[in-house]
């Protein structure tokens, strides 16, 4: 059967530009779908580098101005893989042009901007999604399934952290290529919007909405040279962020993130403790889900380390044979597969821009609480 072509125009050829391009290229080899992404154009400001990227990944053309990309009639889908301060403006223009939009996380610089983005895509009735890819690690998807089946019973605790160690040196500059995450004007916030946003999206998905939070943040290195101005400038991002939260289902949570945990590169973990069972997941061992069920027979009761590679595990029948694991890049392939299936079935897959807004509401409350020193209520999504 011939596939329906979906012409993709991607903005940004950095880290995410590569993960997304790989997903668009590979998805139809492993998933049987009506739609087929076509790598139509890559857009970035440096034309020569964009050309080299296009040649390496198989894009048919290059643009250096995203407005021109959006104006093109032969583009169906705009994929925003550029820094956070560019997301809103590009999404507004893409929605106005009636394009489908995939946008990197965090959706926006703050909740107010994200609200406007949700309004724009919902007014345009255009398919939209945010790249919170960790939902599609098979072990994490299985955690969702186990919770949905009620295996954990009432949830008491949610515990998440995301630890890195790459900004400890005070000689590291801020701003510009590769270091825009340290510049608050481009990133919006530090680890709260960059790393905790992932933990929050997963938590909202697995455990429902968060009512209120109390937080502390710290900026350990207060001034850094700015790559673009050459001047030493104040650092506006949070280097570390930790918060307590109360979920609407009555469970209590702790979240912690830092780029100052020496020895940790991308240690995203979560543990959920329920009345009957607990689960634990660790990005460094992403194909495993640790599961403890109190209802097991006493003598052999204990933590089970489930190897999520069987064909009845989420997504795994599309890959190799049982026992052989997959990795990080596959989460993006799964996300594209679900997005395309959503188009085909008319049942959009999440996380939508609306879901991305819910996470931005939580990060807003975290940053507000860190300033006020008080518990802050989390704004809730209004019904459509
Ligand atoms: N889902 C995830 O796990 C994940 C991981 C990393 C980054 N991200 C998000 O992805 C986005 C990009 O991050 P990254 O790590 O790929 O960054 P990066 O610095 O590796 O790449 C950014 C790209 O955007 C391009 N760019 C910047 N401004 C532009 C403009 N005005 N017009 C066109 N292109 C422009 C740059 O040239 C570069 O190609 C960010 O929003 C980030 O938060 C998500």
Per-residue pLDDT of the chain (384 residues; tens, 9 = 90+): 689 999 999 999 999 999 999 999 999 999 999 999 999 999 999 999 999 999 999 999 999 999 999 999 999 999 999 999 999 999 999 999 999 999 999 999 999 999 999 999 999 999 999 999 999 999 999 999 999 999 999 999 999 999 999 999 999 999 999 899 999 999 999 999 999 999 999 999 999 999 999 999 999 999 999 999 999 999 999 999 999 999 999 999 999 999 999 999 999 999 999 999 999 999 999 999 999 999 999 999 999 999 999 999 999 999 999 999 999 999 999 999 999 999 999 999 999 999 999 999 999 999 999 999 999 999 999 877
Please tell me the predicted confidence (pLDDT) of residue 384. 73
What is the position in ligand 1's atom list of the atom closest to the CA of 193?
43
- Domains of the chain, start order: 4-133 (3.40.50.720), 135-377 (3.30.360.10)
- Output the residue whose Cα is nearest ligand 1's atom 6: 16
- pTM, 2 dp: 0.98
Determine whether the shortest distance from the Cβ of 12 to ligand 1 is under 6 A: yes
Q: Nearest to residue 197, comparing CAs of 365, 37, 356, 13?
A: 356
Three-state SS letters, the chain: CCCEEEEEEEECCCHHHHHHHHHHHHHHHHCCCCEEEEEEEEECCCHHHHHHHHHHHCCCEEECCHHHHHHCCCCCEEEECCCHHHHHHHHHHHHHCCCEEEECCCCCCCHHHHHHHHHHHHHHCCCEEECCHHHHCHHHHHHHHHHHCCCCCCEEEEEEEEECCCCCCCCCCECCCCCHHHCHHHHCCCHHHHHHHHHHHHHHHHHCCEEEEEEEEECCCCEEEECCCCCEEECCCCCEEEEEEEECCCCEEEEEEECCCCCCCCEEEEEEEECCEEEEEEHHHCCEEEEEECCCCHHHCCCEEEECCCCCCCCHHHCCCCCCCCCCHHHHHHHHHHHHHHHHHCCCCCCCHHHHHHHHHHHHHHHHHHHHCCCEECCCCCCC
Cα(268)–Cα(164) distance, integer angstroms: 9
Strand duo 61-63 + 35-43: pairing: parallel
Centroid of ligand 1 to alpha carbon of 372 (angstroms)? 31
- Output the residue whose Cα is nearest ligand 1's atom 18: 14
Please tell me the predicted confidence (pLDDT) of residue 382. 85
Determine whether the shortest distance from the Cβ of 83 to ligand 1 is under 6 A: yes
What is the position in ligand 1's atom list of the atom closest to the CA of 19?
16
Please tell me the predicted confidence (pLDDT) of residue 342. 98
- Output the residue whose Cα is nearest ligand 1's atom 21: 14
Please tell me the predicted confidence (pLDDT) of residue 338. 98
Centroid of ligand 1 to alpha carbon of 82 (angstroms)? 3
Centroid of ligand 1 to alpha carbon of 104 (angstroms)? 8
Determine whether the shortest distance from the Cβ of 16 to ligand 1 is under 6 A: yes
């Amino acid at each position: 059967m011939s596939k329906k072509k979906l012409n993709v125009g991607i903005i940004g050829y950095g880290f995410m530009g590569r993960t997304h391009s790989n997903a668009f290229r590979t998805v139809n080899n492993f998933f049987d779908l009506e739609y087929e992404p076509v790598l139509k154009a890559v857009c970035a400001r440096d034309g020569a580098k964009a050309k080299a990227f296009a040649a390496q990944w198989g894009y048919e053309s290059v643009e250096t101005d995203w407005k021109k990309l959006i104006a093109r009639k032969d583009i169906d889908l705009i994929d925003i893989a550029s820094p956070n301060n560019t997301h809103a403006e590009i999404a507004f223009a893409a929605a106005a042009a009636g394009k489908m939009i995939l946008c990197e996380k965090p959706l926006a610089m703050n909740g107010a901007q994200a609200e406007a983005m949700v309004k724009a895509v919902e007014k345009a009735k255009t398919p939209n999604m945010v790249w919170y890819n960790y939902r599609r690690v098979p072990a994490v998807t299985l955690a969702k399934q186990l919770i949905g089946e009620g295996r954990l019973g009432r949830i008491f605790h949610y515990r998440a952290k995301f630890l890195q160690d790459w900004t400890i040196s005070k000689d590291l500059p801020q701003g510009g290529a590769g270091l825009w995450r340290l510049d608050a004007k481009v990133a919006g916030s530090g680890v709260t919007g960059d790393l905790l946003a992932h933990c929050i999206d997963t938590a909202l998905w697995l455990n429902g909405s968060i009512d209120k939070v109390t937080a502390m943040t710290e900026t350990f290195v207060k001034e850094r040279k700015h790559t673009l101005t050459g001047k030493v400038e104040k650092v506006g991002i949070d280097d570390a962020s930790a918060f307590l939260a109360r979920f609407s289902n009555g469970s209590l949570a702790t979240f912690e993130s830092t780029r100052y945990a020496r020895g940790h590169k991308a240690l995203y973990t979560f543990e959920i403790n329920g009345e009957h069972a607990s689960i634990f997941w660790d990005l460094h061992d992403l194909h495993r889900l640790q599961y403890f069920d109190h209802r097991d027979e006493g003598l052999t009761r204990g933590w089970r380390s489930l190897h999520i590679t069987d064909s009845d595990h989420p997504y795994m029948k599309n890959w190799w044979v049982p026992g052989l694991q997959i990795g990080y890049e596959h989460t993006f392939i799964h996300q594209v597969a679900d997005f395309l299936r959503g188009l085909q079935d008319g049942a959009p897959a999440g996380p939508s821009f609306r879901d991305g807004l819910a996470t931005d509401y939580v990060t807003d409350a975290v940053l507000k609480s860190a300033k006020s020193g008080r518990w802050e209520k989390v704004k809730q999504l209004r019904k459509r």
